[in-house]
Structure 1
Amino acid sequence: MNQVPGTFLKRHDRPGPRDAEAAGLRWLAAADAVPVCPVLAVRDDGLVLERVEEVRPTPGAAEEFGRSLARTHAAGAERFGAPPPGLDGDGWIAALPLPMTTAEPASWGSFYAEQRLRPYLRAARDAGDLSTADAGVLEAVCERLGAGDLPGEPSAPARLHGDLWSGNVLWSREGAVLIDPAAHGGHPETDLAMLALFGLPHLDRVLAAYTEAASTPPGWRRRVALHQLHPLLVHTVLFGGGYAGQAVRAARETLAL
């Protein structure tokens, strides 16, 4: 099959990641807020996507991205840990499975502890990337989350991109375009924390516009470390090294809340 000009084929060796990405892009697009890279076709060897012609981001585009991201989050999800419609089973984040919930969790905190922290904490500990003592610090965060003993519990699940680092935000002439999601229902602050983890052009403009549009409650910046724990543990499992130390430092900061 020849590629149509203006498209490209993103190859997927396995159907799970391919189907999860397609479902996530379509779910985010259905919010009619932040533009996403359109899925033109799902093939056995991958996804046919519309090519995004990239340009240098501007402060104005960053502000519009912040406002649009608030609208994407506000589109909501069925529950914390809900997958995009049409996706059966778990999702994916990078090369790792991303657990989804099949029943309403007791709270966002219990969902985050059981589905976003503990699976990757166990994997990192079993691989020797986390010592018993360091794993205990992260377990203490999970225990406090499960007990509802940390601030910032959201009132309703948001529609998350789920892997919103700077590399998954492309800048076109029309503004920001999202790619490669790990979409699910979650806490809106999780996407904001991911944007801050690896930096983003004009991040201060994005966050200012977002917090104004979403009426984000005061104090959310103090919880950034809590929401960075998941991607830091994912990176620890994938790459080891310094990410384990970052995860433990973020856990200690969270325990001080």
Structure 2
Amino acid sequence: MADHLKQRPGAPQGFFATEAAGLTWLAEPRAVPVVEVLEVGEDFLRLERLEPARPSAADARTFGERMARLHDAGAEGFGASPSDTSWFGPLEDPFEVPTTVHEDFATFWAEDRLRPLADHAARRLGSDGSEAVGRAIDAIAGGAFDGISGQGREQASRVHGDLWSGNLMWTDQGGTLIDPSAHGGHRLEDLALLTLFGAPHLDEILAGYEHAHPMPSGWREDLPAHLFFALLAHVVLFGGGYAAEAIGVAGDITRRARELGG
């Protein structure tokens, strides 16, 4: 089998083992194709080599259905990691995130993910921007987005955790997952990230998802709250060019929370 080698001398301890564990965990339900782990070391990860293919609308719809089944496989709780550590960000500059397990999405998202990033991003956001971001995080902490469109309360899903279009590789097996930050999370996390830079046949992906897992009306209005972590991470990792977008999304979150009664 041909392979693909990811290497980084001096990688944080456990970094590649965490990625390998995440890939294995995502593959366990046999819901969606996941790149196969061949070997893992302290400063490398050897994976099967995937051959890219051009996706069709039908491929995209099938991928959406498969992602719904993956999410429905569930997780121990929000923030649960398949390894002792969890990381987010590019190979060259990842940052560690907590692996504390929470029963509710609000505490996990607001306290373990968003507030630490908002503190790191404060200088680039500016005082007014930081206040807007803080209001949005408070709205999330209040539980407005624990369900979908204000309905019920979601149980933890098995999520990829960094599913922007670059971490979705199309092969002759269909949409295949690579480079995860796998954890127990809200199902809308992955769907929101697919919208960040656009994905091929995105509407078909979402239609396939809804076919396999029906969603309440207006659910797409909740997506900014689930995109917020990735946007704040971009502010921290790549600079203030993302600050205006993050501040704008903060306003969207606060308005949506009011609509939901949060």
1:25-36 pair list within 5 angstroms = 25-36=23-34
Equivalent residue number for residue 112 of structure 2: 115
Cα offset for 1:150? Answer: 4.5
Q: For the structure 1 residues 103 and 172, does the alpha-carbon distance in structure 2 shift closer, same or farther, using more than 3 Å as the test? A: closer
1:147 to 136, 142, 151: 142
CA distance in 1, matches of 2:190, 2:101: 23
Task: Name the aligned partner's letter for residue 181 of structure 1.
Answer: P
After TM superposition, the score normalised by the length of structure 2 is 0.90
Task: Name the aligned partner's letter for residue 167 of structure 2.
Answer: N
Q: For the structure 1 residues 149 and 59, does the alpha-carbon distance in structure 2 shift closer, same or farther, using more than 3 Å as the test? A: closer
CA distance in 2, matches of 1:115, 1:75: 23
Where 2:195 maps in the other structure, the secondary structure is helix
Residues 82 and 102 in structure 1, CA contact (< 8 A), matched pair in contact too: yes
Q: For the structure 1 residues 169 and 138, does the alpha-carbon distance in structure 2 shift closer, same or farther, using more than 3 Å as the test? A: same
Task: Name the aligned partner's letter for residue 255 of structure 1.
Answer: T
Structure 1 range deviating more: 135-144 or 189-198 = 135-144
What's the CA shift string for 1:139-190, capped at 9, x where partnerless? 1112122222456354200001000011101111121111000001110011
Q: Identity of paired residues, percent?
A: 43
Pair 1:93 & 2:92 matched? no
What's the CA shift string for 1:28-67, capped at 9, x where partnerless? 0002111111001112331110000101111111111000
Cα offset for 1:93? Answer: 3.1
CA distance in 1, matches of 2:197, 2:188: 15
After TM superposition, the score normalised by the length of structure 1 is 0.92
Equivalent residue number for residue 247 of structure 1: 246
Pair 1:102 & 2:82 matched? no
Structure 1 range deviating more: 185-194 or 40-49 = 40-49
CA distance in 2, matches of 1:151, 1:219: 15
Pair 1:63 & 2:61 matched? yes
Cα offset for 1:119? Answer: 1.2
1:35-184 pair list within 5 angstroms = 35-84=33-82, 87-94=83-90, 95-105=93-103, 107-125=104-122, 128-150=123-145, 152=147, 154-184=153-183
Equivalent residue number for residue 18 of structure 2: 20
CA distance in 1, matches of 2:94, 2:3: 27
Task: Name the aligned partner's letter for residue 22 of structure 1.
Answer: A
Task: Name the aligned partner's letter for residue 201 of structure 1.
Answer: P
Where 1:256 maps in the other structure, the secondary structure is helix
Residues 225 and 250 in structure 1, CA contact (< 8 A), matched pair in contact too: yes
CA distance in 1, matches of 2:166, 2:181: 13
For structure 1, the residue ranges without an aligned partner over 5 or more in a row are none
CA distance in 1, matches of 2:181, 2:187: 14
Q: For the structure 1 residues 165 and 77, does the alpha-carbon distance in structure 2 shift closer, same or farther, using more than 3 Å as the test? A: same
CA distance in 2, matches of 1:46, 1:249: 38
- Count residues in correspondence: 248
Equivalent residue number for residue 259 of structure 2: none
CA distance in 2, matches of 1:173, 1:148: 41
CA distance in 1, matches of 2:29, 2:89: 21
